[in-house]
């Protein structure tokens, strides 16, 4: 790994010692620079979970990836900088069925720093968090227009969130994913990585998409749509706003280059199909 080149890729400047401030900055910089995307799946390629390949894709070719790629490579960066990193297995709650995916459905990270544990995730789209969340509390953790909490039930942890308008209300926390703190290794996610590239039960197979966090909002490409989201701003009265623009086939490569900095080596086949609900309840 060319550490300097990786830090330039995510726009991080300054000393990179293992501290909480640096961890927070690295996490946010990564989300603002590296898209969460599955375009390889829809342009004739296959994702392989080998760190040198992930580095070449994300840093040298300035692409993004899904959780196994973005968090897998981010863990390598953090470890190289001296952080104590543990890979964790997450199970995402299906928004169609309300059921959780199988183990290794999602790759997330735990960083232990000065005896305190932090949840990191640069491989999840909305409603993901922008800075690490503390694993030492079950109380609310506010980030911009959203509030998160990590609820513990025996050995299982549940990441949940609230919209700004629902803050303080009881019973309206929405579950995002669940996870244990058991240490994992990257090779254990290989089967689920292949599953997400080939299963009609997976969003990554059913939809070509690319999304990246921006200061004050988010830009998302799906199929033939470009969606721009502006976050609420406290004190200005500005509310959450979403606009959608329909795209023609020939516009998509231009949008990917201009909005996300992505130039594909092979032709993208836009896709936006309904996700088939999985038959298995986990």
- Residue 170 designated active-site: no
Contact between residue 53 and residue 35 where contact means Cβ atoms under 8 Å apart = no
Q: What are the structure tokens assigned to 247, written together? A: 């795209």
Catalytic residue of the set 67, 120, 193, 206: 67
d(CA 15, CA 243): 38
- Residue 42 designated active-site: no
Is the bond preceding 127 in cis, omega lying within 30 degrees of 0? yes
d(CA 168, CA 148): 12
Q: In terms of C-beta density within 10 A (0-12 exposed, 13-18 middle, 19 or more buried), how is residue 31 classed?
A: buried
Phi–psi pair at 39, nearest 5 degrees? -65, -25
d(CA 45, CA 203): 17
d(CA 210, CA 279): 27
Catalytic residue of the set 27, 30, 42, 106: 106
Contact between residue 222 and residue 208 where contact means Cβ atoms under 8 Å apart = yes
Contact between residue 66 and residue 47 where contact means Cβ atoms under 8 Å apart = yes
Q: Which residue has the tokens 């040298």?
A: 60
The DSSP secondary structure of 223-239, one letter per residue, reads: TTEEEEEE--BTTTTBP
Catalytic residue of the set 27, 42, 121, 157: 121
In terms of residues, how long is the chain? 282
Alpha-carbon dihedral 213, 60, 84, 177, rounded to 10 degrees: 40
- Residue 121 designated active-site: yes
Is the bond preceding 163 in cis, omega lying within 30 degrees of 0? no
Tell me the catalytic residues. Answer: 67, 106, 121
């Amino acid at each position: 790994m060319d550490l300097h080149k990786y830090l330039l890729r995510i726009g991080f400047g300054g000393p990179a010692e293992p501290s909480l401030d640096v961890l927070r900055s690295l996490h946010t910089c990564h989300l603002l620079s590296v898209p969460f995307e599955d375009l390889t799946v829809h342009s004739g390629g296959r994702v392989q979970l080998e760190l040198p390949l992930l580095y070449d894709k994300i840093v040298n070719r300035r692409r993004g990836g899904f959780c196994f790629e973005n968090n897998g490579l981010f863990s390598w960066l953090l470890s190289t900088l001296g952080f104590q990193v543990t890979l964790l297995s997450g199970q995402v709650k299906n928004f169609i069925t309300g059921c959780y995916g199988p183990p290794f459905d999602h790759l997330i990270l735990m960083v232990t720093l000065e005896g305190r544990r932090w949840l990191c995730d640069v491989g999840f789209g909305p409603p993901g968090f922008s800075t690490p969340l503390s694993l030492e509390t079950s109380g609310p953790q506010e980030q911009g227009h959203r509030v998160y909490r990590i609820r513990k039930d025996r050995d299982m942890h549940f990441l949940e969130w609230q919209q700004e308008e629902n803050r303080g209300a009881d019973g309206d926390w929405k579950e995002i994913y669940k996870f244990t703190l058991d240490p994992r290794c990257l090779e254990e996610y290989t089967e689920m990585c292949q599953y997400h590239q080939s299963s009609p039960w997976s969003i990554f197979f059913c939809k070509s998409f690319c999304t990246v966090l921006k200061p004050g909002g988010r830009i998302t490409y799906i199929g033939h749509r470009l969606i721009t989201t502006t976050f609420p701003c406290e004190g200005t009265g500005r509310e959450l706003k979403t606009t959608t623009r329909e795209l023609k086939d020939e516009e998509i490569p231009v949008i990917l280059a201009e909005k996300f900095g992505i130039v594909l080596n092979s032709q993208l086949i836009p896709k936006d199909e309904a996700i088939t609900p999985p038959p298995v309840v986990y």
